[in-house]
Amino acid sequence: MSNSYSPTRELGIEFGELEEKLADHGYPATNEELVETYGEYPLELPDGSESLEELLGMTSNETYNSPAEARQAIFNMVDSRAIGRKFYSDRTPPALGETREDEQISF
């Protein structure tokens, strides 16, 4: 366990200090155990945050055999809230009248 904290964002979720807590936790662990121990820890999403309890509190009778399984459960519960701008693509042509930064018109 280290005292230095470095933010960890994956698939649109900023785990923050919870990343290290989940990694150091003893497994197997039940959903109820993780929520009871770390439920107040926030997970930052592009449009706000939710606590671990808000995400995993809806799931019951789950047992995780590793930190990776616990993280996957979090990814599954966050779903599209971690996407950011829905339906955004920088690969589609600009809409009529739209100019993108990389396509500045010069005269």
Domains of the chain by residue range: 28-83
What b/e readout covers 33-42, taking b as 16+ CB neighbours within 10 angstroms?
A: ebbeebeebb
CA–CA separation, 17 vs 19, rounded Å? 5
Q: What 8-state DSSP symbol labels residue 59?
A: -
The answer on pLDDT for 92 being more than 70 is no
- pLDDT tens, position by position, 5-36: 444 655 568 888 999 999 999 999 999 999 99
pLDDT number for residue 34:
94
Question: What pLDDT is attached to residue 32?
Answer: 92
Structure-token pair, residue 45: 């999403």
pLDDT recorded at residue 78: 76
CB 43, CB 52: distance < 8 Å: yes
Report the candidate in 8, 26, 10 with the shortest Cα–Cα distance to residue 18: 8
Secondary structure tally for the chain: helices H, strands E: 4, 6
